[in-house]
Amino acid sequence: MMETLRRLWVRYREPITYLFFGGLATLLNIVLYMLFNALCGYEAANSWGNVLNNIICILFAYTTNRTWVFRSRTTGREAWQEFVKFVTCRLGTLVVDAVIMFVGGNLVGPALVPAQYLALWGFGVKVLANVVVVVLNYVFSKLLIFKKK
């Protein structure tokens, strides 16, 4: 039994750790969204608060992806290039997230959802945006950023 678990871990360590740390980044993203919503209001949480939220999560994700998921050992110029590629790809998915939040949260939500359910709607849109972003981020990380030499 332990040998089977060890073999599975060796084989699937990368996607398992990516899902774990991606889950933590997603949780951080959602907690920050709710915090901005509570402190600054619904529209702020779906606009500038969402951008600030994503910047914090990008830095968290880079650290965890580099260290524990993809185990990058680059240094110097290569490490800097890796960071720039990571941030560039994450800024791309930030745009995807911002579009989903703006359209789903600020345009569709108020037009279709009663005011008393708007916060719940915004939370649901945030979860959907996170699912799309996590999948895109893994593909970018695996194929463009932390690719094995």
> Which residue, chain included where needed, has tokens 């899902």?
19
42 dihedral zone (left: phi>0; alpha: psi -120 to 50; beta): alpha
Query: What span, in angstroms and rounded, lies between the C-alpha atoms of 117 and 65?
Result: 36
**Helix spans in 107-148 (H):** 109-112, 118-140
Q: How many CB atoms within 10 Å of residue 139?
A: 12
Tokens of 31: 């907690």
* Distance (Å, whole) CA 46 – CA 42: 6
- Domain hosting 17: range is 2-145
Contact 48, 84 (CB under 8 A): no
Question: Taken in order 131, 99, 28, 113, is the CA torsion positive or negative?
Answer: negative
Q: For residue range 61-95, list pLDDT tens digits in order.
A: 999 999 999 999 999 999 999 999 999 999 999 89
Enter the pTM of the model: 0.77
Average pLDDT, the chain: 92
Looking at residue 46, its pLDDT comes to: 82
Question: What's the domain count of the chain?
Answer: 1
What is the pLDDT averaged over residues 12-25? Answer: 93
Confidence of residue 30 (pLDDT cuts 50, 70, 90): confident
Q: Is 100 helix (H, G, I), strand (E, B) or coil?
A: helix
Closest CA to 94 of 41, 43, 56: 56
Which tokens go with 5?
């678990």
19-48: average pLDDT: 91
Residues ≥6 apart with Cβ < 8 Å to 118: 42, 109, 110
Q: What is the pLDDT of residue 54?
A: 83
**pLDDT score of 149:** 64
